[in-house]
Homo-oligomer: A and B are copies of this chain.
């Protein structure tokens, strides 16, 4: 057993709770709802879920699993393969689980990420029986110090009857002090969230719970999984370029200053590449009020462009992870990690005036966005926090490459096959081809700008033909319903949205 864990458990009476993952997992029974830490592969519970999967080899064991957001460490994969997941809430990004969801074997309920704990707190979804929370330490009073994410961990631990803690020795003890744990009061006593800038701290450093709720402590040495993002390429660089140009224009027009407004960037390659693109921009004194902080956040710090970043997790590439977590003290006074209810809270997003950058799977000629469903039916990951931000932002930007599958798919289609974000929540649409500024435009105008600025040929002409024919039938938002999904159907049948030559 590790000796160093004793420094991490500062309430001596809790040392008796230290046990094995297998023994801790015994607390979890068939039919329970389990809340686990973890947000975008960061700070997830890593060993107790594996012990649970192991147990499922020999007994009937189905649970509802709630997390902050996506997990790493193959937790979702392993639990899926073991048949443990009956229900999964509110986000996932695992290929094996995704397949089970799309086969209808796991009931998946994706949420706007700010909302899950509101639903739990008001008992509108099944209560958490047990929480499994990764911690860097347990304080003298039995409070939990989170690691690389906060996510829903605080509310899970507060609302659960029992809490299992994974003390992870690979997580730096210097993470203590990074977190700001604020829990809104219950209605009707709820007060404003007093955050007026990205850097405001309004809560405590630890998750305060009655220590007697901690039924087991497991010591682990398993690192967070690394980020899966790809490096910038020519197309993501072009998207970043269009956005930098757009923001220069906004600054010149007097609508923004060179500090812009607090930035949110969704997870993934495109958003990360766009943020990296700000390194070579005229903007400085930037702040972020976002969910996940990726490599680009720290590149911007190092470039002297970024003053402060607020998030709910930190998810980095292997190299950047070594740099950042090897010396987190270097960044600590410029960082805060919050519960996802607060990082994504409509109240704060609207007040601060966030510039939100999220990724579209496909968009349509009127600016509706599909972020989740391939062919309108098959779940990719989930809506995540994009709806929290897009609806309430000062400016809502969606980015996508204009083509996929070597040009056999156009990301801009006549009508999206699933709507996650309506035209009202999409101010800017940008592809490597160009940028469509949709503010103040009616649907017919939006179609013209999107098709003209964001689409590659031959799809551009195909969309122009569609709009022309639809407009003859009239309407505020012209469509030919019998042809609206013909591109998707053609792809399903022929493997390409392009008509046969």
Would you call A373 an interface residue if the criterion is a C-beta within 8 Å of the partner chain's C-beta atoms? Answer: yes
Size range of the chain A interface in the assembly: 35 or more
Q: Is the CB of A475 within 8 A of B378?
A: yes
- Choice from B102, B347, B373, B419 contacting A350 with Cβ under 8 Å: B347
When distances are taken between beta carbons in the complex, the residues of chain B under 8 Å from A383 are 422, 424
> How far, in whole Å, are A417 and B419 apart by their CA atoms in the complex?
11
> How far, in whole Å, are A8 and B192 apart by their CA atoms in the complex?
38
Find the B residue at minimum CB distance from A189: B196
Q: Do A481 and B485 contact each other (CB < 8 Å), given the known contacts A125-B439, A352-B187, A419-B419? A: yes
Mark the stretch among A105-113, A139-147, A267-275, A298-306 that contacts chain B. A105-113
Find the B residue at minimum CB distance from A395: B124
Q: Whole-angstrom distance from the CB of A197 to the nearest CB of chain B?
A: 7
Would you call A309 an interface residue if the criterion is a C-beta within 8 Å of the partner chain's C-beta atoms? Answer: no
Flag A324-338 by CB within 8 Å of B: 1 or 0 each: 000000000000000
- Choice from B118, B353, B392 contacting A188 with Cβ under 8 Å: B353
Find the B residue at minimum CB distance from A351: B190
Interface-centre pick from A419, A481, A488 (highest chain B CB count, 10 A): A481
Find the B residue at minimum CB distance from A417: B481
Interface of A is mostly: loop
Each complex incorporates copies of this chain amounting to: 2
Would you call A420 an interface residue if the criterion is a C-beta within 8 Å of the partner chain's C-beta atoms? Answer: yes
Q: Is the CB of A124 within 8 A of B255?
A: yes
Scan residues 89-135 of chain A and give those whose CB is less than 8 A from a CB of chain B.
89, 101-104, 107-112, 118-119, 122-126
Which 10 A-B residue pairs are closest in the complex by CB-CB distance? A377-B475, A192-B192, A379-B476, A419-B419, A107-B442, A347-B347, A481-B485, A346-B346, A125-B440, A187-B353
CB pairs A–B below 8 angstroms (14 shown): A102-B475, A107-B441, A122-B353, A124-B440, A187-B353, A190-B351, A192-B193, A345-B350, A346-B391, A376-B481, A378-B474, A378-B475, A383-B424, A481-B488
Q: What residues make up the interface of A, taking CB atoms closer than 8 Å to B?
A: 87, 89, 101-104, 107-112, 118-119, 122-126, 187-188, 190-194, 196-197, 253-255, 261, 345-347, 350-353, 368, 373, 375-379, 383, 387, 391-392, 394-395, 417-420, 422, 424, 427, 439-442, 444-445, 470-471, 473-479, 481-482, 484-485, 488-489, 492
